[in-house]
């Protein structure tokens, strides 16, 4: 089986994503995660460009990496001066990594308009820089920046830049689609031309400006590249880089190429979500292979078929990449979806059960009104159990009142609430930043003496959506609340023309779902 080198550049290219700013500790944590996953080379950053990356390489020396080699990244030497005195090249050596990656100009446009040196001088920059690093015992990966654009513009010169890197002793020639504008067929044709000229191992570095970075990377491997550069989750400047999280399962499961052991492939989803969390980015639910909805089935026909044979609507087994199948319940679902969901909740429901048809009709009516149970599985479970008489309310509302006042240019909200728990009536009041927050504080305060575990529950997200903008201030709204405790996270929903009523519905479901879970643990 052909070995493919996975070269991860999340810590450099990924750090250029708008909205991402890694601390040194973040970079160290991601390095350990990528090593645990099985990445072969991890590009840690550009030590000659900023103090943070220099500090990262100093601290990374203390890491006990099992599978990965760290690489430092930089550019060819400056036009004025020698390689021995170039501060960028000296910083690469100071990083003390076994591998070094340097980029040089392949496109005559860049040589003329950016470097502003002669074409021959650029060739000397490339050869001198590679040779100086090789004489000092480094494995040198040469990134041929803008290679595909350069080859289309001036193929002879683009190939001469690669020859300069080869003459300097480069171990790998990585061809870069830096502007992300190439097509897979162009990538294949160009790599074939390069291979007719050079025997040095080739790599691919693709950007995603045409939404083709993964396709171009796969095409490059099929054409003969043995190194694939990319980032976790496709992070990167502008539209991002090639997404290694998609490339890895394609290479292994679709092409049968050796890039990760089977056991490591099953850790792919966890690694993707870990890097998203450390990057302070929401994980893309629709991301192929590892997204939360990658194996989620909603349409009734789909669900019915998948429950009989998953291959009907799944191209791989979800567990292969550490993901899982999800059956969504909505107005598009059939009875099979409800039955599947009920089975997971240990509820006695079959397709032939009379309640199944009635519950499906109710679900469709609710979704028509604006409910959205895909994002509120806590409310869905409560709905099913209420309909099957498998749920006993933990409390009953006696009533509530909310007062909003503006004093001294400041708005204040106070909620007064009355609840009944086991024939005991509790009435209390609480203030909040807004009316919903005040209501949330008041109901918790009222129930805490009966259910102390509510102290360990908190709301983590609150979303409001207007369902009919044309109705203006009289429009129906949907409120989605995300809650969590020390064990779990769950979503609940409320819909009403009154935002307070919709919020109340979602709040009550959130609390009752929490108490239901606690009851099940006893």
- pLDDT tens digits for 347-396? 676 767 777 777 777 777 787 787 877 668 888 888 888 877 778 889 99
Q: Would 378 be classed as within a structural domain?
A: no
Number of domains in the chain: 3
* Residue bearing tokens 């989605």: 480
Q: 248 with 306, same domain?
A: no
**For position 477, which CATH number holds?**
3.30.160.270
Q: 427 with 504, same domain?
A: yes
Which of the four pLDDT bands, split at 50, 70 and 90, describes residue 124?
very high
Question: What are the structure tokens assigned to 314, written together?
Answer: 């799944």
Length of the chain, in residues: 522
Q: Is 392 exposed, middle or buried (0-12, 13-18, 19+ CB in 10 A)?
A: exposed
| Cα end-to-end distance, the chain, whole Å | 52
17/243 Cα distance (integer angstroms):
13
Q: 104 with 14, same domain?
A: yes
Name the DSSP class of 78. Answer: P
Task: Outline where 279-347 has alpha helix (H).
Answer: 300-308, 335-344
Q: 355 with 417, same domain?
A: no
Last residue of a domain, one of 203, 237, 260: 260
Q: 300 with 238, same domain?
A: no
Q: 415 with 319, same domain?
A: no
- For residue 147, the tally of other CB atoms under 10 A from its CB is 29
> Between β-strands 424-432 and 410-421, what pairing exists: parallel, antiparallel or unpaired?
antiparallel
Which of the four pLDDT bands, split at 50, 70 and 90, describes residue 68?
very high
**Which are the contacts of 147, defined by CB distance < 8 A and separation ≥ 6?**
106, 107, 158, 161, 162, 175, 176, 177, 178, 190
With 70 as the cut, is the pLDDT of residue 334 above it?
no
Region of poorest pLDDT, from 207-221, 326-340, 364-378, 404-418: 326-340
Question: What are the structure tokens assigned to 425, written together?
Answer: 């009536």
Domain of 233 in residue numbering reads as: 5-260
pLDDT > 70 fraction of the chain, expressed in percent and rounded: 93
Q: Would 423 be classed as within a structural domain?
A: yes
Task: Outline where 198-334 has alpha helix (H).
Answer: 213-223, 244-249, 262-265, 268-278, 300-308
Q: 36 with 112, same domain?
A: yes
> Between β-strands 296-297 and 227-230, what pairing exists: parallel, antiparallel or unpaired?
unpaired
């Amino acid at each position: 089986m052909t070995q493919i080198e996975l070269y991860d550049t999340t810590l450099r290219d990924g750090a250029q994503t708008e909205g991402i700013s890694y601390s040194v500790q973040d970079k160290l944590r991601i390095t350990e995660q990528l090593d645990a996953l099985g990445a072969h080379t991890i590009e840690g950053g550009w030590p000659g460009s900023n103090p943070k990356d220099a500090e990262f390489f100093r601290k990374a020396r203390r890491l006990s990496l099992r599978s990965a080699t760290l690489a430092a990244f930089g550019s060819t030497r400056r036009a004025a001066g020698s390689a021995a005195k170039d501060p960028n090249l000296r910083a690469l050596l100071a990083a003390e990594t076994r591998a070094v990656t340097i980029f040089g100009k392949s496109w005559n446009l860049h040589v003329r308009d950016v470097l502003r040196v002669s074409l021959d001088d650029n060739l000397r920059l490339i050869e001198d820089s590679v040779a100086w690093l090789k004489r000092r015992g480094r494995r040198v990966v040469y990134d041929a920046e803008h290679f595909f654009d350069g080859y289309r513009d001036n193929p002879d010169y683009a190939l001469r830049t690669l020859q300069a890197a080869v003459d300097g002793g480069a171990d790998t020639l990585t061809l870069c689609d830096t502007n992300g504008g190439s097509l897979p067929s162009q990538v294949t044709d160009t790599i074939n031309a390069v291979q007719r000229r050079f025997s040095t191992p080739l790599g691919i570095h693709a950007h995603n400006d045409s939404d083709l970075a993964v396709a171009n990377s796969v095409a490059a491997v099929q054409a003969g590249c043995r190194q694939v550069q990319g980032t976790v989750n496709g992070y990167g400047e502008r539209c991002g880089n090639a997404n290694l999280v998609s490339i890895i399962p394609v290479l292994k499961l679709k092409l049968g190429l050796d890039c990760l052991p089977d056991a490591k492939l099953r850790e792919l989803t966890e690694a993707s979500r870990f890097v998203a969390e450390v990057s302070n980015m929401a994980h893309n639910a629709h991301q192929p292979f590892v997204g939360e909805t990658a194996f989620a089935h909603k349409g009734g026909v789909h669900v019915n078929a998948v429950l009989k044979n998953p291959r009907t609507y799944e191209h791989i087994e979800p567990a292969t990449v550490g993901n899982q199948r999800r059956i969504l319940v909505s107005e598009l679902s059939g009875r099979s979806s409800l039955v599947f969901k009920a089975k997971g909740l240990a509820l006695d429901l079959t397709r032939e059960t009379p309640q199944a048809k009635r519950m499906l009709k109710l679900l469709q009516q609710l979704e028509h009104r604006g409910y959205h149970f895909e994002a509120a599985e806590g409310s869905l479970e409560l709905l099913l159990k209420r309909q099957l008489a498998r749920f006993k309310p933990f409390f009953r509302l006696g009533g509530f009142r909310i007062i909003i006042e503006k004093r001294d240019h400041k708005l204040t909200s106070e909620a007064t609430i009355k609840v009944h728990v086991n024939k005991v009536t509790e009435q209390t009041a609480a203030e909040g930043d807004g009316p919903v927050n005040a209501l949330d504080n008041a109901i918790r305060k009222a129930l805490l003496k009966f259910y102390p575990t509510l102290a360990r529950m908190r709301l983590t997200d609150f979303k409001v959506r207007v369902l009919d903008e044309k109705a203006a201030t009289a429009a129906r709204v949907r409120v989605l609340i995300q809650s969590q405790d020390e064990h779990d996270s769950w979503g609940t929903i409320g819909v009403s023309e009154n935002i307070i009523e919709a919020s109340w519905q979602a709040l009550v479901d959130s609390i009752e779902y929490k108490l239901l879970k606690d009851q099940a643990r006893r």
